[in-house]
Amino acid sequence: MRRLGTGIGWRPEIADAVERMPGIDWVEAVAENLCPGHLPDSLLRLRERGVTVIPHGVSLGLGDAERPDAGRLAALAERAEALGSPLVTEHIAFVRAGGPLTASPRLEAGHLLPVPRTRDALDVLCENVRIAQEALPVPLAVENIAALIAWPGEEMTEGQFLYELADRTGVRLLIDVANLHTNHVNRGEDPAKALAELPLEAIAYVHVAGGFERDGVWHDSHAHPVPRPVLDILTDLASRVSPPGVLLERDENFPEPAELERELGTIRAAVEAGEREGAPARASSATGEEHASTPGTGVGTRTATGIGPRTMTRTATATATGIGTRTASGDGCAPPISEPGPAALDEATRQRLGLAQAALLSALVAGTPVPEGFDRVRLGVQARALAAKRADVVAKVAPELPLILGSGYRNAFIAYAQSHPMHGGYRQDALDFAEQTLLGGRLTEGRARRELRRWWLDRSGPAPRPKSRLGRAGRVGRTLIRR
């Protein structure tokens, strides 16, 4: 895997500071925030200096029950080519549910939600990853996510789930050590056990980020300094394998550039401490492998501290190395035997997963009953977190709304979000919120109502000629707002 070095998440708010920071080898930019034909000047200057830029997707939904959208894949591919990136990254998460597969309304989560660690979900995820790999011009790496909730009836640990995913598809892994810490606090999962079960040779790079704890729940905010427990997990990982790259994520509440530089220095020190700690074990392991290598191609065997050797299957080896055949015996002299392709996924498997995801997402964003087996209290925390995330993102894509509504914006939006699921992305969400605020009588006549009405009318577009009762209802709504 290509060595990346030390990087930081590129955000417009800190673009100038990132350009001036010493020791930045690469940056990562949110793919959905980039327009290939109009890349930010800051990113172009970084590219000219030889700084690697990697697009990081957040909306593909590889863990969705439905297949990845061809348009979203094409957009991700276009950004990778525009940036000359060596790879692209996404998340092991579902972000939408419903639709024709489940004969139910399509719902958007507006954030990353965990995939159940079951055989059904793994089968769907593997096929979705293969579809993405075929559509992308560069290798794909996928990231483990932070979770507030746990699915009932899970069949694998996180490490086992990731190992099988990499084993079956050859996909690279983006390991977020902050998310391992989050899942330790919120779900009682042992980060060391997860690291011990991972296919370390599949790691593309590592994320590091901060968060905060409230009422026994860890929130992966990306808005706070990196805490010591996260750095300790990073050191543990670096003691097992030298990570090709490590990146600091910060999405808001940006400190002074000097503070970010100090955090990057602390991250480098944590990696170096782990590499020193693991050096003797890696040297011993390498010596042992030279004297007792596994017969065959020699590809796919690893030794991780404390767990002994593990061999990835032929499918992952072929995918990761470009080798599509294997020998029938271990001596490498027998005629090659073609690798069988993956079996076609039963559509019923997607439907089962789709029904489960739709029931969960509906409970979170539409107030329907909590599915059996879930922790009701924790689902309430997740629902409030999703609403707050929506409020924050809408405030960024439509910054006029907080200005118009003032201190009442956030509470008003969260109240709206509890009964109005997101259907068409954040910009449409902003328009829907403004419309419901105007129609719901939450604003009395005055400056705020006049400005909000003008804002909505300027952006909602001309009303088409109604052809149905639904269209007439929409025209009535626009008429009421105009008054």
Tell me: the pLDDT tens digits for 394-438?
A: 999 999 999 999 999 999 999 999 889 998 889 999 999 999 999
Strands 26-30 and 52-56 come out as parallel
pLDDT of residue 457 exceeding 60: yes
Identity (one letter) of the amino acid at 345?
A: L
**Banded pLDDT at 462 (limits 50, 70, 90):** low
Nearest Cα neighbor of 433 from 407, 460, 406 is 460
When pLDDT is averaged across residues 69-76 and rounded to a whole number, the result is: 97
Query: pLDDT tens-digit profile of 163-203?
Result: 999 999 999 999 999 999 999 999 999 999 999 999 999 99
pLDDT band at residue 465, thresholds of 50, 70 and 90?
very low
In the 3-class helix/strand/coil scheme, how is 231-254 assigned residue by residue?
A: HHHHHHHHHHCCCCEEEECCCCCC
Average pLDDT, integer, range 31-39: 93
- In angstroms, the CA 280 to CA 9 distance is 33
pLDDT at 344: 74
pLDDT at 345: 85
Lowest-pLDDT range, 173-182, 257-266, 337-346, 468-477? 468-477
Which of 35-44, 133-142, 345-354 ranks highest by mean pLDDT? 133-142
What's the rounded mean pLDDT across residues 292-298? 42
- What residues contact 446, with CB distance under 8 A and at least 6 apart? none
Residue 442 has pLDDT above 90, yes or no: no
Separation CA 107–CA 363 (nearest Å): 11
- What pLDDT score was predicted for residue 333? 41
DSSP state of 143: E
Contact 363, 379 (CB under 8 A): yes
Whether 481 has a pLDDT exceeding 80, the answer reads no
Residue keyed to tokens 């020190």 = 269
The confidence score (pLDDT) of residue 463 equals: 52
pLDDT at 25: 96
Residue 25 carries which side chain, given as an amino acid letter?
A: D
DSSP character string of 251-308: -SS---HHHHHHHHHHHHHHHHHHHHHHHHHHHHHHHHHHHSPPSSS--SEEEETTTE
Residue 330: what pLDDT?
Answer: 40
d(CA 99, CA 97): 7
Say what the pTM is. Answer: 0.83
Beta bridge partners of 104: 99
Instruction: Tell me what the pLDDT averaged over the chain comes to.
Output: 86
pLDDT of residue 306: 38
